[in-house]
Amino acid sequence: MDSQLLLEIYKKQAKMIYFYLKKNGCSHEDAEDIVQESYMKYMAYSSGVPSDKALSYIFTISLNEFKKLLKKKGKEQVILIDDDRFWNNFANDQNTESSVLNIEMNHEIALTLEGIQEVFKQLLVLKYEFELSYKEISLLLGMKEETIRTYLFRARKEFQKNWRELHG
C-alpha cells in the first residue's frame, strides 16, 4: 500500500478511533497504544485488505485490542458520556443544580446502554455522541449504509424499551 495513503488514513482516522476508545473507558495511554498497535498490524497484513476496507479493518483491530486489554485487566467496558462537560460546567460557574442533574442523566443513559447489544451500543455512540453520518459509520464499520440505518433503528427501539423499564 502507498505510504502516503496510509499516512492520510492515519491522520484522519486515528483521532476518531482514539476518542472512541476513550469514550468507552480506555485510558489515554492505552488508547494511544491500541491505535498505534492497530496501525502497525494493518501495515503488516495490509496486502490482503482492499484499500476501501482499510478503515473498518483498523477499527476492528482497535476494538479487539481494547477487548483483550479489558479481559487482561479483568475489567468491564464502561461507556463514558460527557464527563469533561460536567467538570467544565463547575469550572465555568454554571448552575450547579443543572450540572448535577446532567451527570445523573448521563449515568442513567450509561446504565440503559449497558443493557443493549454491543453492536447497538457502538452504533448509538458513533451516531449520537460522535455525530457521524450513516455513510461515515458504514465506512468505519465496513457495513452497508442501509444495514447501518436498520441497526440504528433497532438500537433506538431497544434503548427506548430499556429506558422505559428503568423509568417505568
Is the pTM here over 0.75, yes or no?
A: no
pLDDT at 134 over 90: yes
CA distance 138 to 147: 8
Range with lowest mean pLDDT among 78-92, 113-127, 146-160: 78-92
Can you give the pLDDT at residue 161? 93
CA distance 21 to 130: 12
**What one-character DSSP code corresponds to residue 46?**
G
Can you give the pLDDT at residue 42? 84
Average pLDDT over residues 32-44: 88
Average pLDDT over residues 73-92: 55
Nearest CA to 129 out of 60, 76, 80, 90 is that of 80
CATH number of 83-167: 1.10.10.10
pLDDT at 155 over 90: yes
Q: Which of 32-41, 130-139, 147-156, 157-166 tops mean pLDDT?
A: 147-156
Can you give the pLDDT at residue 75? 67
Do residues 157 and 149 touch, judged by C-beta distance below 8 A? no
Do residues 111 and 166 touch, judged by C-beta distance below 8 A? yes
Indicate the domain borders of the chain.
3-73, 83-167
DSSP-based three-state secondary structure for 49: coil
Instruction: Give me the long-range contacts of 114-117 (CB less than 8 A, separation at least 24).
Output: 114/79, 115/162, 116/155, 116/158, 116/159, 116/162, 117/155, 117/158
